[in-house]
Structure 1
Amino acid sequence: MKKIILAALLLCGAIRAGAQSPASEGPAEPYRVEVAFDKTVHILFPSAVKYVDLGSANILAGKADGAENVVRVKAAVRGFTGATSFTVITASGVLYTFEALYADSPAQLTVELEDWLHRDPYGPFASRQTYVRLSELGDETPLVVNRIMYTIYKRDARHIKTVGSKRFGVQLLLKGIYVQDELFYFHTSLRNLSKVDYDIDRVRFRIADRKVAKRTAVQETVIEPVCRFNEIAAVQAGGTVRNVWVFRKFTIPDDKVLIMDVFEHNGGRHQSFMIGNTDLVDARTITELKVR
C-alpha cells in the first residue's frame, strides 16, 4: 500500500523523481541498524518524516506518535535471518536507505542522524546522497536550495539598509533579498540588545494593505516559506540570530506591502517591518553569490 501511495505522489507531482548528486563520488552506503523483537529502536531525523517504506514483513516501522522527525523500528519476526531494508523520505527532500539486521540486544536503541545538509551542503557526504524533487521548490533540487541558503548565511552581507524595526531593545533587520528561477531568498537578523532573553512564539509573513482606514476590515494574505535555514526558538540576551527564508516567487501590488512579524512568547516585544514591491524587483541574483 505504501508503494502505491508513493506512486500516486509521483504522478501528482507532490514528489517528483530526484537525481543523485555527482556520480563520480559514488552513491552513499545504506545506514545499518540492528532491530529486535522485544525492543524498539528510535531514529531521529534532522527534519520531519514524510514517507516510510518497508522492504519486507520482517520489520515494523513508522512515525512515532507526537513527533514529526522520529521513526520507530522493531522486528515483526523473532530472530529473522539475513538483512532487510526500509526507506525514509524527509521534508528536506533527502531519501535515506537503511539495512536492518536482527539482534536480540541492538547496539543502539536511539540513532540520531547528523544534519549535514545544513552544516556542510558542499561536503562530499551531501554530494553522495539521493534527493527527491519537491514541488514547492520548483525546478531546484533540495541540495541546490540548501547550498544557496548556506552561502547567503555564511557570507552575511547586508545589501538592504532601510528595512527593519527596533523596539524594546530588540532589532529586526532585512539584510538582503535574492532570487533564483522561481524562488526568493530573504536574509534576516534578529538582535537582542536587552538583558532579557527573547523567546520567539512565531514568525509570520503576510501581504496587507499599505494603508488601512479606521473601521475598515484588514485584507491580508499569509504566505508560508517553503524552506528555511534555521529553526530558531530564542535569542539570548546580547545575542544575534540570523535566518534565510525561501519563498515561491511573487509580486506585490502597489497599494500593498509584505510584512514580517516576529512575536515574543508570553511577551509584548513584537517586531515587524514592511517590504515593498520595489525591494522584490531589486533582488540580487544568485549568480552574484558564486554558489558552487
Structure 2
Amino acid sequence: MLFTFSNGGYICCLILLLVCKPAYSQNSSLYAIEALPLQVSAESTVSLSFAAAIKTVDRGSAELLAQKANGVENVVLLRAARSGMLPTSLIVITADGELHTFQVEYQQQPACIGLQVMPKKHQPAAARFPDTISQAQISEQVSAAMDQPSNLHRKAAAGGLSVKIDGLYISGGVICIRLKLYNRSVIDYQTESLRVFSCDKRQIKRSASQQQQLELIGSCGEYDLVGASEQKTVVVALAKTTLPKNRILVLELRERGGARHIRLPLRARHLSKIARIEASSNP
C-alpha cells in the first residue's frame, strides 16, 4: 500500500508491507529508499534521463528548477534558480512504476551535466566511478592530456561553431578526450550539455532511452560559454571502458536555447588510435 504525504513541496513515500494478524494486532515492515546524490548549478543545465517515461516530478524547493526536455518523455532538465541554493530533494516517478529519490546539492561546476538512471542490473560498469582512482589522479591525467601530441582528427560544425576531437588518450583507468572549440560566428555559444554515450551503429539518431550514458569523471578547461570569435581547448575524462563490435562512442555538444547541436561519432578505427599519456609530459 502506497501512502503519500505532501507538505510545502516535500513528498515522503512510505511503503508498508502489512502482514495480516488477528484483529487486535498487526506487524509492519518499513523499507528506506536510498537517495542518490545529485549536483546542480545556476550556470549549467543538468540532464537526467530514465529508462521509462516520466510521470511525476516533485521538487523539495522552489529554488530547484525542473522541466521535461522537449520532444522526449524520459528526460528532465534541472537547474538551480540561484547561486548557493540550499540542499533539497527531488523525487521522480516513472511509467514503469519505479520511484527515484535524489539528494540535490548546489555546485558551481557540477561533476557531470549528463546523467542516466537505470535499474542496477542494467547499469554499465563504465558508468560507475572507478573506486581505485582518486580525484587527484584524474585531475592529473586530464591536465597532462592538454599537452599531448595530437593523434586524432574528427571535426563537425554547426552555425559557425566547430568542434574538433584532436586527442584520445588513456592512463590507468582513465580515458581522456581532447576537444578544440572554435566559435567563428558573432553569436556567443552557451553550452546546455556536453555528454558522451554509446549506441548501436545504426541508432545514432534515436532517443536517449536507446543510448548508454557514460559518466564524465573529470574535465580541464571551461566549455560553458564559447564567446564570439573565441577558441578553447577542453579535456574531458571518463572511466576506461570497452565496446561491443556493434556499438560506437558519440560525443554530443548541445546549445542552450539554440539549434547548434553537434555530434561526433567515434568508430572502431578512431578508437584504435588511442595513445598512452606520456609521463614526461606530466611533471
The residue type paired with residue 136 of structure 2 is: L
Q: TM-score, normalised by structure 1?
A: 0.50
- In angstroms, what is the RMSD of aligned CA positions? 3.2
- Check conservation: 1:252, 1:277, Cα contact below 8 A: no
Query: SS where residue 279 of structure 1 aligns?
Result: helix
**Superposed structure 1 runs of 4+ greater than 6 Å apart:** 213-218
Give ranges in structure 1 of 5+ residues lacking alignment: 1-62, 71-89, 93-134
Residue 158 (structure 1) aligned with residue 150 (structure 2)? yes
When residues 235 and 156 of structure 1 are mapped into structure 2, their CA distance, relative to the original with a 3 A threshold, is farther
Q: Alpha-carbon deviations, 1:252-283, whole Å to 9, x = none?
A: 22222111111111110111110123333431
Q: Alpha-carbon deviations, 1:150-181, whole Å to 9, x = none?
A: 2222x2642212x1202221111111111112
Report the equivalent of 2:136: 143
- Number of residue equivalences: 167
Structure 2 distance, partners of 1:270, 1:69, is 25
Give ranges in structure 2 of 5+ residues lacking alignment: 1-83, 88-104, 112-127
More helix by share: 1
CA apart distance, 1:235: 0.5
When residues 220 and 193 of structure 1 are mapped into structure 2, their CA distance, relative to the original with a 3 A threshold, is same
Report the equivalent of 1:68: 106
Report the equivalent of 1:178: 169
Report the equivalent of 1:191: 182
When residues 281 and 182 of structure 1 are mapped into structure 2, their CA distance, relative to the original with a 3 A threshold, is farther
The residue type paired with residue 145 of structure 2 is: I
Q: TM-score, normalised by structure 2?
A: 0.51
Report the equivalent of 2:252: 261
The residue type paired with residue 248 of structure 2 is: V
Provide the identity percentage. 17
Query: SS where residue 65 of structure 1 aligns?
Result: coil
Query: SS where residue 278 of structure 1 aligns?
Result: helix
Report the equivalent of 1:202: 193
Report the equivalent of 1:12: none
Structure 1 distance, partners of 2:142, 2:206, is 41
When residues 289 and 209 of structure 1 are mapped into structure 2, their CA distance, relative to the original with a 3 A threshold, is farther
More strand by share: 2
